Structure 1
Amino acid sequence: MKALVFTAPGTVELREVPEPVPGPGEVLVHVAASGICGSELHGVRHPGFRVPPLVMGHEFAGHTDDGTRVVVNPILSCGRCDLCALGGRNVCRERRIIGVHTPGAFAERVAVPADTLVTLPGGLGWTAAGIVEPAANAVHAWALAGAPGGARVGVIGAGAIGLTCMLVAASGGAARIEVADRSADRREIAAQLGADAAGPELTGEYDVIFDAVGAAATHEQSLACLRPGGVAVWLGLADSTAGFDAAHLVRGEKRVLGSFAYQGADFATAVDLVGGWDLSWVETFPLTEGAEIFTALMNGRATPVKALLAPGSRHP
């Protein structure tokens, strides 16, 4: 079968690879949509967490052999430890991720554990299904922030995670949402999706700020623009440097929360939400064009904000 393979630093290639053979407790998923994540773009440029050769792809949906339409939760946890027992399977010390530690969905087919499947509701298109995983990240971040209806919300970064944070906050009753991004094209998309303001940087004072970039400068900005007693939720992974003044954090009694992935309930909520969103910022490309679009995005192309790969032609 055809698959997009991470073969060397900075390089992905369309290759013929062996058919996946489901093991005990696994099922075969015929991939319909698989999203290119910013973490994959970074990971191909800077191998370490992801090691070539690897078929990536952890944001995906498709159908099983019997025709059941599913989206896959790619977080594989032990299910036995103290953290799993508390519901924190996303922070399980032994967690693995499909497309990182096992072959992923930049392929025609992928074998996954049966318990990772979430059945899709009727009428939900493949584009929306392909956005469930990033949307689940945003749902989890909103929950960590306390789901504060009526809040003034700032979002740093108008990529897929930033835009889904904005959309989840709007669904949750945020009073005002402002988005910051260096790209004028992405700021325009944020405005079209309902942001009350969009500029190169945040300029106001906010109750909640989502940092979907994760650079030292955005860490600093998230705290500088946060009201005393407010909460900054960091989702981005661009830089491991903290980059903020700890004394300012203490004197303002501000909070910083790390947000990684999602729990099962977040994933289910995302499935319910995505069907009602404007997803005009998402574009689907045939898997055969995967290397070209992946490389363009990795090298700084700003659009599409979200690219999905599909083994067949473009689809709704």
Structure 2
Amino acid sequence: MKALNLYGIEDLRYEDTPKPTIQNSFDVIIKVKATGICGSDTSRYKKLGPYHEGMTFGHEFSGVVEAIGEDVTHLNVGDAVTGCPAIACHNCEYCEKGEYSRCTKLFVIGSLEPGSFAEYVKLPANNVLKIPNNVDFDTAAMVEPSAVVAHGFYRTHIKPGSTVAVMGCGSIGLLAIQWAKIFGAIKIIAIDIDNHKLNIAKKLGADYTINSIEESLEEAIDAIPEQIDVAIESAGSPFTIGQVLTLPTKGGQVLLLGIPYSDIEIKRTQFEKILRNELNVIGSWNGLSAPFPGKEWDATIHYMSSGDLLVDPIISDRLDLSEGPETFFKLVNKKQHYDKVIFHP
């Protein structure tokens, strides 16, 4: 089969790779129909390199069941599915408590095991979920990032009537805007430095948009009549992680979803907001809960099916997998603008 394999920093190759095979009774082989680029993929491509040289990359995907092990009972060959790429050990103290996102041996396919930038991918049966007929493959390829966002929201105290601010309007932030609506937020503030992304945010439900390069963030927030109950950091920028602490009202919450790939410096005045405003700062990792892979996945599939979670406005490019090396290079080196990229193997 063809796959995108990462050999080193900015060394991604489209090449022939052995097709996965059934090796135990709970294996599932999936023919990949759609697979998306995640922000963590671009950071590993640009800054970190592979865990293992030549590893098949990627972890957000959907597809059709190609083959199943003899003990797989909830799936049939030909089923349309998505896959949870997170592999938990199911044996550590956190797994035994159903806290799978805290598993001490947790990893995601595309790192230690082959991922989804390929014609076929293999997962344990418990990691594979069927998708309804009215959820297309491109949408289903974004169940994983949506589940990651939902996991964070379940950790907050968001309730109907809340005002929510989302800082960073990439794919995660645009999903967060929609999850804020699902959780009952009546006012949503979108913050970014890209007017194109802010326009998408408006279409997906943001009531206010702020370009923090073009105007003072503090003045723009002060001009909004509602107080912010929950502020969500979804950019993972060293600058926004400090800024987001200044947004919530006293006793409010900050949800950290973005992953920074460099050291962070927080100004004293920003850090003091945690203390003086008695903020609750919440970290969130992955998108898992009990029963595995969790309510985040079932809820995402439900709301995609109902039309409450839209991903089509987020997707800018649908490309052949063979365009992967060129696309990654252009993306990380800012040679071309992309929103969400979906590959079709």
Q: Deviations over 1:47-92 (max 9, x none)?
A: 2674432211111111112101111011111112221122210110
Percentage identity across aligned positions? 29
Q: Distance in 1 between matches of 2:50 and 2:247?
A: 32
> What is the CA distance between 1:301 and its match in structure 2?
5.9
Q: Distance in 2 between matches of 1:273 and 1:289?
A: 31
Q: Deviations over 1:226-285 (max 9, x none)?
A: 111111110111244262544331121001111111121111111111231332221321
The secondary structure found in structure 2 opposite 1:161 is helix
* Residue among 284, 288, 291 paired with 2:318: 284
Aligned to 2:14: 14
The 8 Å contact of residues 56 and 110 in structure 2, kept in 1 or not, is answered as: yes
Q: Distance in 2 between matches of 1:49 and 1:235?
A: 23
Asked if residue 206 in structure 1 is aligned to residue 217 in structure 2, the reply is: no
* Residue among 129, 139, 144 paired with 2:150: 139
Aligned to 1:54: 55
Aligned to 1:314: none
Aligned to 1:174: 185
Aligned to 1:267: 297
> What is the CA distance between 1:101 and its match in structure 2?
1.6
The one-letter code of the counterpart of 2:205 is G
The secondary structure found in structure 1 opposite 2:295 is helix
Q: Distance in 2 between matches of 1:41 and 1:99?
A: 13
Asked if residue 310 in structure 1 is aligned to residue 335 in structure 2, the reply is: no
The secondary structure found in structure 2 opposite 1:227 is coil
Q: CA RMSD in A?
A: 1.7
The 8 Å contact of residues 145 and 233 in structure 1, kept in 2 or not, is answered as: yes
Q: Deviations over 1:14-72 (max 9, x none)?
A: 11111122321212110011110001101111126744322111111111121011110
Q: Which is worse superposed, 227-236 or 273-282?
A: 273-282
Aligned to 2:126: 115
Residues 243 and 301 (structure 1), Cα distance of their counterparts in 2 relative to 1, 3 Å cut: farther
Q: TM-score, normalised by structure 2?
A: 0.85
Q: Which is worse superposed, 27-36 or 194-203?
A: 194-203
Asked if residue 165 in structure 1 is aligned to residue 187 in structure 2, the reply is: no
> How do 1:66-105 residues align onto structure 2 when only pairs under 5 Å count?
66-105=77-116
Q: Distance in 1 between matches of 2:88 and 2:186?
A: 36
> What is the CA distance between 1:4 and its match in structure 2?
1.1
Q: Distance in 1 between matches of 2:176 and 2:301?
A: 15
The number of equivalent residue pairs is 311
* Residue among 205, 218, 221 paired with 2:240: 218
Q: Distance in 1 between matches of 2:265 and 2:20?
A: 41
Structure 1 gap segments, 5+ residues each: 312-316
The secondary structure found in structure 1 opposite 2:250 is strand
Q: Distance in 2 between matches of 1:128 and 1:146?
A: 28
The 8 Å contact of residues 158 and 230 in structure 2, kept in 1 or not, is answered as: no
The secondary structure found in structure 1 opposite 2:48 is coil
Q: Distance in 1 between matches of 2:258 and 2:58?
A: 18
Residues 96 and 67 (structure 1), Cα distance of their counterparts in 2 relative to 1, 3 Å cut: same
Structure 2 gap segments, 5+ residues each: 67-76, 222-226, 289-293
Q: TM-score, normalised by structure 1?
A: 0.93
Residues 30 and 95 (structure 1), Cα distance of their counterparts in 2 relative to 1, 3 Å cut: same
Aligned to 1:243: 266
Aligned to 1:193: 204
Q: Distance in 1 between matches of 2:11 and 2:195?
A: 28
The 8 Å contact of residues 174 and 314 in structure 2, kept in 1 or not, is answered as: no
The secondary structure found in structure 1 opposite 2:255 is strand
Q: Distance in 1 between matches of 2:229 and 2:18?
A: 51
The 8 Å contact of residues 147 and 287 in structure 2, kept in 1 or not, is answered as: yes
Q: Distance in 2 between matches of 1:50 and 1:223?
A: 33
Q: Distance in 1 between matches of 2:112 and 2:101?
A: 15
